[in-house]
Amino acid sequence: MLDRRSFIHLAATALAAGFAGAEAQAGAPRPVNTLGSTEELAIRGYDPVAYFRDDGPRLGKPEFSVRHGGATWRFASAEHKALFEADPDRYLPAYGGFCAYGTSRGYLVKIEPEAWSIVDGRLYLNYDLGIRKTWLGDRAKFIARADANWPRLTPASVR
């Protein structure tokens, strides 16, 4: 049987190991949706800033591109590119730009740029408009599930 001091030391060591594991996992590069692109274009070449600034999807242009997170992100204008570069976390879509509903189900799938929503300042993309309708039916539940699944999903999870 452990004395109090040994127990506290053992518990502190286990807790520290847990935090180290979480930090290593959090620091691991997360996949970005480049499905269907031979150029590693994120979210099929659509401008993530446009969803916030232009109220919907717009294709980005090659002359307004930036590498971030292992993918090439395109923007419709130099202004959008500059906004992204100044604060990428503000504009990056949830779950690397994969379908939010698919992520809630434990896998990564493509998206249709027209199937989107902004919830609490965060861009969510969906497989198609039908899945978007399902996703909108209980966003809070699907976001909670996707948030729980996202840390463990890898490129091997792509369908």
CA distance 127 to 133: 11
Give residue 38's pLDDT.
84
What is the tally of structural domains in the chain? 1
Which tokens belong to 54?
């232009």
Q: Is residue 77 part of a domain?
A: yes
Mean pLDDT score, 120-140: 97
| AA letter at 19 | F
Q: Is residue 64 part of a domain?
A: yes
Give residue 12's pLDDT.
34
Q: Please determine, for residue 116, whether its predicted confidence score (pLDDT) is greater than 60.
A: yes
Tens of pLDDT, residue by residue over 49-94, are 999 999 999 999 999 999 999 999 999 999 999 999 999 999 999 9
Give residue 29's pLDDT.
73
Q: Is residue 69 part of a domain?
A: yes
Average pLDDT of the chain? 86
Q: How many CB atoms within 10 Å of residue 117? A: 16
Q: Please determine, for residue 18, whether its predicted confidence score (pLDDT) is greater than 50.
A: no
Q: Is residue 30 part of a domain?
A: no
* Banded model confidence at residue 9, pLDDT cuts 50, 70, 90: very low
Burial class (CB in 10 A: 0-12, 13-18, 19+), 88: middle
Task: Supply the range of the domain harboring residue 128.
Answer: 42-157
Q: Please determine, for residue 98, whether its predicted confidence score (pLDDT) is greater than 90.
A: yes
Lowest mean pLDDT among 14-28, 43-57, 101-115: 14-28
Q: Is residue 5 part of a domain?
A: no
Q: Is residue 12 part of a domain?
A: no
Give residue 28's pLDDT.
63
- pTM for the model stands at 0.81
Long-range contacts of 141-145 (CB under 8 A, 24+ apart): 141/104, 142/100, 142/101, 142/104, 143/94, 143/100, 143/104, 143/119, 145/104, 145/105
